[in-house]
Amino acid sequence: MSHGSSLTPTVSARARSLKGRAIVPGDKSISHRALIMGGLAVGETTITGLLLGEDVLRTATVMAALGAKVEETQSPGDKHDGTGRTFRVWGRGIGGLTEPADILDMGNSGTGARLIAGLVSAYPFTSFMTGDASLRGRPMDRVTKPLSQTGAKFVTRAGERLPMAVTGTPLLMPLTYDSPIASAQVKSAVLLAGLHAKGLTTVTEPTPSRDHTERMFRHFGVDVWTETVQTGSSGGRQGSSRYKVQVQGQPELSGRPINVPADPSSAAFLVVAALLVPGSHLILPNISINPLRIGLFDTLIEMGAQIAYTNSRIEAGEPVADLEVKYSQLKGINVPAARAPSMIDEYPILAVAAACAEGVTRMDGLEELKVKESDRLSAMANGLKACGVDAKAEGDSLIVRGGGPKGNAPVMIPVNLDHRIAMSFLVLGMAGDRPIAVDDASAINTSFPDFIGLMNGLGADIQAVPAKDLL
């Protein structure tokens, strides 16, 4: 979908110190899974704190199209952060979903598309799936390949792209799948299909990816086993370890209450902004600190960031804490490839932190960034260079030399419908003398609908301006 000449650029200028307590939207990954599991459980599931971004609301609409009943209640004055709102889902039980009457439109949501593909592949009817221009350009073979082994059939456009037809099988076979990559989307798609198969479904991956699905399954009473296993050596080569997940299919699920914690991937933009703008001090309550999601925070602390966790607790199987963040002078480091699965969505905003740090930051193992909402590796390297930052992509690595944006003239960054690219460059604009504009801020609504209003309330200066005023 092209927005054409109707775009109104959004520009971010140097911010005054960012101070206050900020409510971050609910975790996107957990929100998707809460709606899906609510639709598979018998009885009522109540969800508070659900992310109200477009991606998650697409999943809510799709679950309703598949036969679940989804209702939202809200109080006057509620905002996009989900505070005070409750979603109620009445599920159909495992095997109880029904054929959708229309095309399932996943919008911009790669997570939603791949998880729903796994879900509908377990049902003996045909579903048609599509998405926006960005999602239709992203490959689906990473889930269609393993799911085809269960007996499901997929018809896609060239390059395994949406639109896609999914026809499930009445005799779903439990699958053992050794994934070549650590991907929560791939793992979750296979496990969701496996819930409907009689027997054990097994997924292994090179390193543990996000484990929200395993935690959510346990919360609903699914038998889940996880372990690290050693693979055998051969040909004189030493064996290696793999993360293994098994689920017992066809469980009886009952509705459960879920309080969705705030999304660490969304909190990342506020955290980095506070670290880069002198005098800043933010409190961010109720943030998910799942060990497989906080690679960015670990990295920033290594760079010298003042980030503290307080009031740590467990909610719906997920570790949660309040974050306290203060302005810090950061130093460049080498970020190992092994950390990528725990912070794959946060590399764009880490690149912004690196651009303002002292010295060189090298980020390795970023192949996955090339198949996100956009090619984020190229987008960040090119965008930073446009801002006067010394940055380059080499293979699957990004190398950034700090020192901040150079120059005084405003610069326009194309975001290609990528919400994280848009927010990252708006944060960069807060940290220097050079105003930085993004050509389209609308994509931010997919994950952080009130981002601009919230940031301005804390001390940022982000405004929509006509393109002619930036020339």
Please say if 390 is a catalytic residue: no
Structure tokens at 224: 């889940």
Determine the distance from the C-alpha atom of residue 239 to the mean position of all C-alpha atoms in its chain, rounded to a whole number: 32
Strand partners, 88: 46, 71
Name residues whose C-beta falls within 8 Å of residue 87's C-beta, 6 or more positions apart in sequence.
Answer: 35, 46, 47, 48, 50, 60, 70, 71, 72
Residue with tokens 């150079």: 406
| CB 99 within 8 Å of CB 124 | no
SS3 for 442?
helix
Q: Which of 211, 322, 345, 440 is catalytic?
A: 345
What 3-state class would DSSP assign to 459?
coil
**Residue 464 CB-half CA count within 13 A:** 8
Q: Are strands 436-438 and 306-315 parallel, antiparallel or unpaired?
A: unpaired
Of 8, 3, 9, 7, the C-alpha closest to 429 is 9
CA–CA distance, 131 with 148 (Å, rounded to integer): 21
CA distances to 178, 249, 429 from 433, rounded to whole Å, are 49, 57, 8
Nearest Cα to Cα of residue 193 among 226, 154, 138, 146: 146
CA–CA distance, 412 with 414 (Å, rounded to integer): 7
Query: Under DSSP, is residue 307 helix (H, G, I), strand (E, B) or coil?
Result: strand
| 89, 95, 101, 104: CA torsion to nearest 10 | 70
- Please say whether the beta carbons of 213 and 37 come within 8 A: no
**CB–CB of 165/104 below 8 Å?**
no
The burial class, CB within 10 Å (0-12 / 13-18 / 19+), for 356 is buried
Of the candidates 255, 245, 209, which has an alpha carbon nearest to the alpha carbon of residue 224?
245
Residue 151's identity, in one-letter code, is G
Tokens 């000449």 — which residue? 5
With beta carbons less than 8 A apart as the criterion, state whether 384 and 355 touch: yes
Q: What is the DSSP letter of 457?
A: H
Q: Which positions are catalytic?
A: 345
